[in-house]
Chain A
Amino acid sequence: MDLILVNIIDGLVTGLLLFMLSAGLTLIFSMMGVLNFAHASFYMLGAYFAYQISLALGFWMGLLIAPLIVGVLGAGVERYGLRRVHQYGHVPELIFTFGLALLIEELVQFIWGKNQMPYFVPDALNFSAFAIAGNSIPAYKIFMIFTSLAIFIGLLFILTRTRVGMIIQAALSYPRTVEALGHNVPLIFMGVFGVGTALAGVAGVIAGPVLGTFPGMAFVLGSIVFVTIVIGGLGSLWGALVASLLIGWLTTFAKAYNIAMEDILNGIGIATPENLDSNVFRDLWSITSPQIADILPYILMVLILIIRPSGLFGKRHS
Chain B
Amino acid sequence: MTQMDTKTDVKGAREDEQITTDPKSSAQQMRAGNLTLSFGPWIVAAVLLAVLPFIFTNNSSITIMNQMWITVIFALAYNMLLGQGGMLSFGHAVYAGVGGFACMHIMNASDFFAMLPLPVLPIFGGLFGMGLAMIVGSFSTRSAGTVFAMISLGVGELIAACSVIIVAFFGGEEGVSGDRTYAMPFFGTEFLQQIEVYYLISAWVLISAGLMYLWSRTPVGRMANAVRDNPERAEFLGYSARWVRFYSFVASGFFAGVAGGLFAINYEILTEENLNTASSGVILLVTFLGGVGFFFGPIIGAIAFTLLQTVLSLQTDLWAFYAGTLFVATVMFFPGGLAGLMMMHVPVFRLGKARLLVMPYLKTLLPALIGILGLAALVEMLFHVRHSAPGDNEMTLFWTTFDSHAILPWVVAIGVTVIALGITRATAPGLRDAWNEANTAGARA
- Interfacial residues, chain A to chain B (CB-CB below 8 A): 29, 33-35, 81, 84-85, 88-92, 94-96, 98-100, 102-103, 106-107, 110-111, 113, 219, 223, 226-227, 230, 234, 280, 282-284, 287, 291-292, 294-295, 298-299, 301-302, 305-306, 309, 318
Q: How far is the CA of A301 from the CA of B335 in the complex (A)?
A: 32
B277 adjacent to chain A (CB < 8 Å):
yes
Nearest chain B CB to A289's CB is how many angstroms away? 12
Report whether A99 and B8 are in contact in the complex, using a CB–CB cutoff of 8 Å: no
Q: Is the CB of B320 within 8 A of A81?
A: no
Minimal Cβ-Cβ distance residue in A for B379: A110
B159 to chain A, nearest CB (A): 9
Q: Which of B162, B165, B320, B379 has the most CB of A within 10 A?
A: B165
Q: Is the CB of A226 within 8 A of B166?
A: no
B320 & A106 in contact (Cβ 8 Å cutoff): yes
Q: Which residues from A are CB-within-8-Å of B288?
A: 95
* Residues A283 and B331 in contact, CB atoms below 8 Å apart: no
- Distance in angstroms between the alpha carbons of A84 and B2 in the assembled complex: 14
Q: A142 to B321: give the CA distance in the assembly, Å.
A: 39
Contacts of B445 in A (CB 8 A): none
Complex A-B: 11 CB contacts under 8 Å: A35-B146, A88-B4, A89-B7, A96-B328, A99-B327, A234-B150, A291-B165, A295-B162, A298-B158, A301-B154, A302-B155
B331 near A99: Cβ-Cβ < 8 Å: yes
Distance in Å: Cβ of A233 to nearest Cβ of chain B: 11
* CB-defined contacts of B147 to chain A, threshold 8 Å: 230, 234, 309, 318
Q: How far is the CA of A103 from the CA of B325 in the complex (A)?
A: 6
Q: Which residue of B lies closest to A114 (CB)?
A: B387
Nearest-Cβ distance from residue B113 to partner chain A, whole angstroms: 19
Could you tell me if A90 and B146 are in contact, using CB atoms closer than 8 angstroms? yes
Q: Given A92-B335, A234-B147 in contact, is the A103-B324 Cβ separation under 8 Å? A: yes
Give the 3 A-B CB pairs with smallest separation, nearest first: A298-B158, A103-B324, A106-B321
Interface residues of B in 160-187 (CB under 8 A from A): 161-162, 165-168
Contact residues in A for B284 (Cβ distance below 8 Å): 95, 98
Decide: B150 and A35 in contact? CB cutoff 8 A.
yes
Whether B4 contacts A92 by the Cβ 8 Å rule is yes
B contacts with A: majority SS: helix
- B167 to chain A minimum Cβ distance, whole angstroms, is 6
Whether the Cβ atoms of B146 and A299 lie closer than 8 Å is no
Inter-subunit contact A92/B146 (CB<8 Å): no
Known A-B contacts A88-B335, A226-B154; A99 and B145 likewise in contact (beta carbons under 8 Å): no
How many whole Å from B95's CB to the nearest CB in chain A? 16
8 Å CB interface, B104-153 against A: 139-140, 142-143, 145-147, 149-151, 153
Complex contact B324–A106 (CB within 8 A): yes
The answer to whether B166 and A283 touch across the interface, beta carbons within 8 angstroms, is yes
Taking the complex as formed, is B273 at the interface, i.e. its CB lies under 8 A from any CB of chain A?
no
Q: Which of B143, B158, B167, B383 contacts A110 (CB 8 A)?
A: B383
Report yes or no: B387 in contact with A113, Cβ–Cβ below 8 A: yes
> What A residues does B285 contact at CB under 8 A?
99, 102
Q: Which residues of A contact B3 (CB under 8 A)?
A: 88
When distances are taken between beta carbons in the complex, the residues of chain A under 8 Å from B407 are none
Contact with A along B369-388 (1 / 0, CB 8 A): 00000000001000100110
Interface residue from A111, A280, A283, A298 paired with B161 (Cβ < 8 Å): A298
Tell me if B335 and A103 are in contact (CB < 8 A): no
Given contacts A89-B8, A106-B321, A113-B387, contact A234 B157 (CB under 8 A): no
With contacts A84-B332, A282-B168 known, is A305 near B139, CB below 8 A?
A: yes
**Complex: how many Å from CA A219 to CA B145?**
22
Q: A34-B146, A305-B151, A318-B147 are in contact. Are A92 and B6 (CB under 8 A)?
A: yes
Report yes or no: A306 in contact with B157, Cβ–Cβ below 8 A: no
